[in-house]
């Protein structure tokens, strides 16, 4: 028995893999135990450092910061999908005067880090053009430009992965290019590239944390503020833990919703295939 990538291991191989797995898990647990021990030794779990998070006003501020994070993510995710789809169609255009500028636009904004984009839009535009954007706009536009450019390549790869025969068959029955794209190519491309799209949306959610550099009032900005409160022992580590838990929770919810949508798409595809038979 063998798989596509490697031969199925025998009894000795499975025993060796089990030993390596146990050893790796032990090393990881030891590292985590050391980190927790060091936190306890330096008083990171003391009541003084965690007292600030027991105040209702602080909890309300964190909830508002989480709402600001989700607000920026929601607009940026929708804008990235629209921009990515538009750029991918432009890249596949038969007209070079359309495909070439779109190609360079995609390559440019895919190469610039999101943090640099945010700083340029917030700190660079005002003195250069006399434009003063609020932090929210700078964060959202930067996320849309970067993630839209990345998703454009994902959509393009998904569209080009569809067999050419399906495109030619659509044209042969009299469909226009736009109809072939909308009815035949895009639905199959989206299903094929759904894992990539989901992972990029998770990256978009996490990249909202970079908004603290332009004073956007999101989770990391508030965690940095709470961590600098000297009267509560400068709870930097507790603030980072709270922010990390919030980000992990939101990413898990997003991944769960994405997996649910993927299962429904597969189920509907199976049902439609059975009806055709």
Query: Of residues 120 and 3, which shows the higher confidence score?
Result: 120
Residue 201 CB contacts under 8 Å (≥ 6 apart), including other chains = 77, 80, 147, 254, 258
Six-digit token string for 156: 């393009």
Q: Within this chain, do residues 241 and 181 fall inside the same structural domain, yes or no?
A: yes
Q: Within this chain, do residues 26 and 139 fall inside the same structural domain, yes or no?
A: no
Q: Within this chain, do residues 159 and 223 fall inside the same structural domain, yes or no?
A: yes
State the chain's mean pLDDT as an integer.
Answer: 83
- What mean pLDDT comes out for the span 24-53? 88
Q: Within this chain, do residues 2 and 71 fall inside the same structural domain, yes or no?
A: no
Q: Residues 229-270: pLDDT tens digits?
A: 888 888 888 898 999 999 999 988 888 887 787 777 677 665
- What's the total number of domains in the chain? 2
Q: Within this chain, do residues 250 and 218 fall inside the same structural domain, yes or no?
A: yes
Residue pair 94/186 in contact by the 8 Å Cβ criterion: no
Beta bridge partners of 2: 7
Q: Residues 40-97: pLDDT tens digits?
A: 887 888 888 888 888 899 899 999 999 999 999 999 999 999 999 899 888 887 788 8
Q: DSSP alpha helices (H): ranges in the chain? A: 11-41, 47-50, 56-91, 96-111, 114-119, 125-129, 135-161, 164-172, 177-180, 186-207, 219-227, 236-276
CATH of the domain at 158: 1.10.3720.10
Q: Within this chain, do residues 73 and 142 fall inside the same structural domain, yes or no?
A: yes
Which range of residues forms the domain containing residue 2?
1-41
Six-digit token string for 169: 């068959």
């Amino acid at each position: 028995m063998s798989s596509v990538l490697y031969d199925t291991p025998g009894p000795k191989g499975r025993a060796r893999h089990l030993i390596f797995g146990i050893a790796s898990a032990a090393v990881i647990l030891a590292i985590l135990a050391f980190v927790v021990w060091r936190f306890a030794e330096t008083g990171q779990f003391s009541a003084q450092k965690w007292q600030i998070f027991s105040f209702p006003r602080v909890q309300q501020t964190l909830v508002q910061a989480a709402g600001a994070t989700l607000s920026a993510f929601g607009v940026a995710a929708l804008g990235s999908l629209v921009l990515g789809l538009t750029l991918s169609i432009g890249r596949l255009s038969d007209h070079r005067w359309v495909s070439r500028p779109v190609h360079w636009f995609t390559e440019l904004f895919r190469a610039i880090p999101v943090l640099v984009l945010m700083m340029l839009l917030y700190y660079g535009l005002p003195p250069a053009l006399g434009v003063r954007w609020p932090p929210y706009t700078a964060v959202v536009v930067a996320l849309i430009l970067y993630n839209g450019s990345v998703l454009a390549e994902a959509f393009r790869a998904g569209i080009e992965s569809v067999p050419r025969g399906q495109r030619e068959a659509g044209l042969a029955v009299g469909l226009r290019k736009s109809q072939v794209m909308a009815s035949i190519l895009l639905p199959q491309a989206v299903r094929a590239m759904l894992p990539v799209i989901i992972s990029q949306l998770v990256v978009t959610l996490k990249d909202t944390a970079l908004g603290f550099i332009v004073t956007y009032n999101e989770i990391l900005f508030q965690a940095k503020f709470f961590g600098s409160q000297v009267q509560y022992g400068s709870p930097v580590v507790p603030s980072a833990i709270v922010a990390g838990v919030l980000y992990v929770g939101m990413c898990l919810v997003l991944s769960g919703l994405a997996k649910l949508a993927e299962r429904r798409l597969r189920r509907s595809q199976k049902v439609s295939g059975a009806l055709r038979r």
